[in-house]
Chains A and B, each alone.
Chain A
Amino acid sequence: MPTTAYEYRLRIPSETDNLELIREFVTKVADKVGFNSDDVGKIELACDEACTNVIKHAYASDRNNGKKSLDILIKIDFDKFTLVVTDHGKGFDPDSIKMPDMQEYLAQLKVGGLGIYLMKTLMDEVDYQIQPGVKNQVKMVKYFIDKNNSGFGEGKK
């Protein structure tokens, strides 16, 4: 089994001002490795949602907020694209975040909290590793061949 072929890394201050740059980085890599524009768009949005959660929540109660950094790692394997977002802020219990029932959610007109739902919808796998104050990671995977055929169009391969 081949090991990871390529890695791309970005370390950046945890600020909403940098979301545009993060999206540009991720979309350039996703495009370069051959995803169609639909899938590039899904990866772009999932990454934005993960980073927005970190910027808005992980460091929210810390001082020196602007000096905190956010690490983005992209690993390219022969069969999949893996995106790992890491921060060093306060964590959360991923099991405490319930997947919203969208009908109920919309009926109540709730604000926010849509990010994790989108990430799980857009990517093939989403996994959290939480060590509060030490390291929190969200790992998201997209396979080059669309196993689920989500109905948004087919991959290039």
Chain B
Amino acid sequence: MDAFSISRVNKNGCSILYLNGFLDAHTAPELENELEKLIAEERFNIIVNFKDLTYISSAGLGVFMGYIENIRDNQGDIKMCSMSPKIFRVFDLLGFPTLYDIVQEEDRAIELFYKPEQK
């Protein structure tokens, strides 16, 4: 079994990344590569689905910090969905909910790209 894997689905103009396993200092470079690929392809509407992520450390959170500026400068965003309480707690401890849209349902995350005023 892989410690960490990412699969990508393109849906309604968004690219959805499904994270599986654990995201720590060892596996974070894989997520960096994936985000760099999306940026190179000019896909800036990004949703990260955390439903199968079992663990995250600050090295994993740091990846999102590293790319968000570039993505927002290109009128895109990273929206996050389907976090377990354990994963959400780490994001919450570091104040990420003030910086990122974090929602439960993936469909809601897609909607936020098109109807942000109804947040």
Q: How large is the interface on A (under 10, 10 to 19, 20 to 34, 35 or more residues)?
A: 20 to 34
> How far is it, in angstroms, between the C-alpha of A48 and the C-alpha of B16 when the chains are bound?
28
> How far is it, in angstroms, between the C-alpha of A103 and the C-alpha of B94 when the chains are bound?
9
Q: A13-37 toward B: CB 8 Å interface, digit per residue (1/0)? A: 0001101100100000000000000
- Indicate if A49 sits at the interface (CB-CB under 8 A): yes
Contact A16 B25 (CB under 8 A): yes
Shortest CB distance B27–A (Å): 9
Number of A-B contacts (CB under 8 A): 64
Contact B58 A49 (CB under 8 A): yes
From A76-84, A112-120, A125-133, the one touching the partner chain is A112-120
Contact A102 B26 (CB under 8 A): no
Shortest CB distance B32–A (Å): 11
Contact A102 B25 (CB under 8 A): no
- Indicate if B57 sits at the interface (CB-CB under 8 A): yes
Contact A121 B93 (CB under 8 A): yes
Contact A117 B24 (CB under 8 A): no
Q: Provided the pairs A20-B22, A52-B24, A103-B95 are in contact, do residues A41 and B86 lie with their beta carbons within 8 angstroms?
A: yes
Contact A16 B24 (CB under 8 A): yes
> How far is it, in angstroms, between the C-alpha of A109 and the C-alpha of B98 when the chains are bound?
12
- Indicate if B38 sits at the interface (CB-CB under 8 A): no
Q: Provided the pairs A49-B58, A118-B58 are in contact, do residues A20 and B24 lie with their beta carbons within 8 angstroms?
A: yes
Q: Provided the pairs A20-B24, A152-B89 are in contact, do residues A102 and B95 lie with their beta carbons within 8 angstroms?
A: yes
Measured between beta carbons, the chain B residues less than 8 angstroms from A55 are 25
- Interface pairs A-B: 6 shortest CB-CB: A16-B26, A114-B58, A102-B95, A52-B25, A16-B25, A48-B57
Which B residues fall within an 8 A CB radius of A?
3, 22, 24-26, 55, 57-59, 61-62, 65-66, 68-69, 86, 89-90, 93-96, 98-99
